[in-house]
Amino acid sequence: MLVTVSVAVVMTLLAACQLDSADSQGRDGPRKRDNPTKAQPSKTPRAGGSLTDLAKGPLDEGWRVIRVVDGDTVEVTRQGRSLTLRLIGIDTPETVHPTEPVQCFGPQASQFATRHLLGEPVTLEYDQSQGRLDYYGRTLAYVWTTAGRPSLFNGQVVKRGFGYEYTYDDPYAWQAAFRRAETRAQQGNRGLWSECN
């Protein structure tokens, strides 16, 4: 009986230690490379840690943002090659659409992107579920800022209320995390949620 109680106490202590370890490394414990074709709802786009551990899909390093078109479209360059990116999973109010007026909070979303991205080194993350190009020939990607601790810019746009979670057709790898971020931004009246109807 005493042995059984001792074993139970040891098992309880080990479980508590594992939970503390997971909490200290993020809600879900150590990050592992996931299959980029499946949405993984347990991960959240938080700063810190190794980018290869945080990302869900293939990474493409060494880019620098040279132009912000608007809050969800930027241009990057590397070794003389340029790409126009459409950021996956977000939609910001329009500022440069040829047939639509400037929308509420559009200028603020563009300013947010400019402040955080223009001239900065970034790493692109691709998502096989979304393909590589959109209808307009723009490269579809998530953008990680890499000056300091890695941070997923697409998620920051939604989290801070500068844009909406946006699912084009198929679910994408960061969809669940972006939807949670949007709910929190809306509940907290952040950004466009307090300024726009």
Identify the three-state secondary structure at position 60: strand
Residue 192: phi, psi to the nearest 5? -60, -20
Cα gap 139→100, rounded to integer Å = 23
Identify the three-state secondary structure at position 10: helix
Residues involved in catalysis: 86, 94, 138
Cα gap 158→170, rounded to integer Å = 19
Quick check: 151 and 144 in contact, CB under 8 A? yes
Cα gap 127→86, rounded to integer Å = 12
